[in-house]
Structure 1
């Protein structure tokens, strides 16, 4: 299967919401305390305006769903993804973090679309649906992610932006140029 290259299709398929699952060994009081401290730090930083991230209040002290150890979830809209990912990369300590998108294909999101910050854990995907009727919306009151009311750049604006970037990068020796436009 070739990667999508049609701009409209790529933009329509863009992932707008993500989960970060913080993992800890439920038998380790030290890891549990570190996980809760990380959650509280994320909450303080959210309040301070560093990013939008919504940790669940519940911390699972035993396996639940596909998650084989203690865990909790942090929801994040695409608008804050880079900031939250960066923060967790730098501040997770010895904890592992499962990162996956939220789409209608929950099993695929947890299987082939996932990434790990730190060591990975095997997941039990058997209870996850293959295809849901709709994209799982979380916190639509925030009007971010799939619930955003801010209009994005138009296709024409995106094309102009891409052309400008290509023109600027022509002088950069290390930057790979985009291949020629294919004419159908």
Structure 2
């Protein structure tokens, strides 16, 4: 199956919210403390405006749901994804981080749409299901799926893409879009 190239379809399926699960071996005091220090750092940076990231108040001291070790989750809207991902890549230490999108297909999100920062852990996927709708988290922030910001129109997106293609014409290292896909 080929990846979709229809602009409308791609925009409608864009992921707007993410989870980062910070893992630590619950009987390893050093890892547990490192995980809590990372959580506190994320909270301070959120307070200071570095990004929007909401750690769940609960820190799991034992396996829970699909997660096989101690963990906590950080919710992040797409508006801050790159900043949070970058921060965790650079500052996770020896901890592992599961990254997955939030869609109505929980099992797929954890199984095939996931990524790991650091070594991966086996998950218990049997506890995950599919829901009718995307689970909204923190809609009061008006970010992610709850965003009220106006989106670029399809025409504006096409103009932006055409401008990028024109700008990159002189860049010999940049791959060019196939001619049948360029939207002028």
TM-score under structure 2 length normalisation: 0.98
Aligned to 2:135: 136
Is 1:163–2:162 an aligned residue pair?
yes
After superposition, what is the alpha-carbon deviation per residue over 1:86-116, rounded to whole angstroms, capped at 9, x for unaligned? 0000000000000000001000000000000
SS where residue 126 of structure 1 aligns?
helix
SS where residue 73 of structure 1 aligns?
strand
SS where residue 89 of structure 2 aligns?
helix
Q: Distance in 1 between matches of 2:181 and 2:60?
A: 51
SS where residue 14 of structure 1 aligns?
coil
SS where residue 93 of structure 1 aligns?
coil
Return 5+ residue gaps in structure 2 as ranges.
Answer: none
RMSD value, Cα: 1.0
After superposition, what is the alpha-carbon deviation per residue over 1:93-142, rounded to whole angstroms, capped at 9, x for unaligned? 0000000000010000000000000000000000100x211101000000
TM-score under structure 1 length normalisation: 0.98
Q: CA deviation at 1:181?
A: 1.9
Return 5+ residue gaps in structure 1 as ranges.
Answer: none
